[in-house]
Amino acid sequence: MPRHPGLPLPVALAALLLTGAVAGAEPIAPADRRSGFDQMSAEIQTMQRDDDANPGMLAVVDGAELWTKPPSSSRPACAGCHGEASSSMRGVAARYPAWDARTARPIDLQGRINACRRTHQGADPLAYESPDLLALTAFVATQSRGQRIAPPEDARLAPARAEGRALFEARMGQLGLSCAICHDENWGRRLGAAAIPQGQPTGYPLYRLEWQGMGSLQRRLRNCLTGMRAEPFGYGAPEYVALEAYLATRAAPLPVETPAVRP
Amino acid sequence: MARTLINLPKTAKPGEVITIKTLISHPMETGFRPGADGRILPRNIVTEFVCRFEDEEIFRAELFPASAANPYLTFTWVATASGRFSFTWRGDDGFDQTESAAITVA
C-alpha cells in the first residue's frame, strides 16, 4: 500500500518538491503488484471481461484478418510462416520486449511486427498508432491473455532495463515529477479525481475510454510525459523500448490482459 | 465496411428470453470538435439502429452526438420461432450497414 496513507497527495508532492528529496522509490514487491484493472469501476471491469462488449475486440478481429492477408501477392502473410497464431504466438507478448539479434538492440512487440514486415514481407512498416499496427499487435498479444508476464533472462537486455529504470525514476519536465513518484510511491491514492494505478503495462494495446479508441503503451507513456510537462520522446524512440523493458520486469508475474479496457 | 461483433445464442427454447449484444466500429465524431488544423470536424455518427426478426421490427434505437465511439447496444427478445435477425446501422454520410444472424428455436 502507499507510503503515507494519511497525507493528501498535494501535501506529499509539495513536501517532496520542497525538500528536493530524491525519489528513492523502491520498486513494488512482486506480491504487491496490482493491475490497474483492480482499481476500475465494476462497470468497466465487466466491459473488459465480456468479449462481446469489449471494444478492443474489434481491433483483435481486424488483426486476425490481417494475420492471414499477404501484404503483396509474392510474399507470405503472417500466417504463411507462423501458422495458427493461437499456438505459435501464445506467450510471445508475455516475454517482450526481447533482444533483436539483427539490430543488436532490444525490440518491443510492435517493433518486431514492423521488422518482420520489412524483412520477410517486403512491405513498408506500419505507422505507430495506425489502426493496422494496433490491430496486429493486439491480435498477437491477445494470444497470451492470462499468461504471466515473464521477461526473458537475457543479460543483453540488462542495460536497457537499467536505462528504463533510470528514466522511470528520473525527474522530468516543468513539474519535476518522475514516473516513480506517482506509480511507486503514491499508487492507490488520487491525483485530482483520478485513481493513481501502479502503471503496470499488462493490457497493451488497450482500449482507453478517454481516447475513444485503441492505443499502444508508447502512446500512454507520451500522455504521462505530457502530463508531467516534459517533452515526449518521438514514437519508436529507444527510450520507450528501454522503459517498456523495465516495466515488464516491474510487472512480472501479473497476467497479460490484452485487449484491456481502461477509463 | 465497419467491423461488427454480434452475439446471440445459436439455439433457444420457445418462450426463453435471450440477450442480443451488438458492437460496431464507428468513430461517432460529434461535429463539435476541432481537428488538428483547428477547423470543426464534420459530424459523423450512427443515427439509427434497427433489429428485425424475419421482417418484423423488434428493436430500434436513435443515437445522438453524445454517444461514445463504437456504440454497444444490447437488448432482449422472447424466443418464438426459428429464423433470421437482421441488424441495420444507418448514419451520416450515407452510412448504411446490415448484418444478419440466425437462431434455431426448438
pLDDT confidence band for A9 (50 / 70 / 90): low
The closest CB to that of A57, out of B5, B28, B68, belongs to B5
Query: Is residue A10 pLDDT above 90, yes or no?
Result: no
Give A61's contacts in chain B (Cβ within 8 Å): 3, 5
DSSP secondary structure of A107-175: E-HHHHHHHHHHHHS--PPPPTT-HHHHHHHHHHHHTTTTPBP-----GGGHHHHHHHHHHHHS-BTTT
Looking from the CA of A241 toward its CB, the CA atoms found within 13 Å total 21
Q: How many CB pairs under 8 A join A and B?
A: 32
When pLDDT is averaged across residues A39-46 and rounded to a whole number, the result is 96
The total number of residues shown for chain A amounts to: 263
Q: Tell me the Ramachandran region of residue B95: left when phi exceeds 0, alpha when psi lies from -120 to 50, beta otherwise.
A: beta
Rounded to two decimals, the ipTM of the complex is 0.91
Cβ–Cβ gap B3/A58 under 8 Å: yes
pTM comes to 0.89
Closest-CA residue of B relative to A211 is: B69
DSSP letter (8 states) at residue A177: B
DSSP letter (8 states) at residue A95: G
For chain A, residues classed under CATH 1.10.760.10 are 7-20+31-50+153-262, 56-142
The answer to whether A2 and A188 have CB atoms below 8 angstroms apart is yes
Closest CA of chain B from A125, distance in Å = 23
Which of A58, A134, A208 is best to mutate for the B interface (most B CBs within 10 A)? A58
- For the domain covering A7-20+31-50+153-262, report its CATH number: 1.10.760.10
Closest-CA residue of A relative to B68 is: A212
The closest CB to that of B23, out of A52, A62, A213, belongs to A52
pLDDT digits (tens, 9 = 90+) for B37-94: 999 999 999 999 999 999 999 999 999 999 999 999 999 999 999 999 999 999 999 9
User: What CA–CA distances, in Å, run from A225 to A139, A177, A219, A229, A233?
Assistant: 27, 9, 10, 6, 9
pLDDT confidence band for A25 (50 / 70 / 90): low
Cβ–Cβ gap A62/B23 under 8 Å: no
Distance CA A66, CA A136 (A): 7
DSSP secondary structure of B39-90: SBPPPB-EEEEEEEETTEEEEEEE--TTSPSS-EEEEEEE--S-EEEEEEEE
Give B68's contacts in chain A (Cβ within 8 Å): 209, 212
Percent of chain A whose predicted confidence (pLDDT) is above 90: 87
Distance CA A125, CA A114 (A): 5
DSSP secondary structure of A179-200: HHHHHTTSTTSEETTEEP----
Sequence letter at residue A99: W
Task: Say whether residue A209 is in contact with chain B using an 8 A CB cutoff.
Answer: yes
Give B27's contacts in chain A (Cβ within 8 Å): 212
Q: Annotated catalytic sites of A, by residue?
A: 224
**Residue A175 burial (CB < 10 Å; 0-12/13-18/19+)?**
middle
CATH for A56-142, among 1.10.760.10, 3.40.190.10, 3.30.1490.20, 3.20.20.540? 1.10.760.10
Distance CA B81, CA B16 (A): 11
Task: Say whether residue A53 is in contact with chain B using an 8 A CB cutoff.
Answer: yes
Cβ–Cβ gap B68/A212 under 8 Å: yes
The answer to whether A253 and A106 have CB atoms below 8 angstroms apart is no
The answer to whether B73 and B49 have CB atoms below 8 angstroms apart is yes
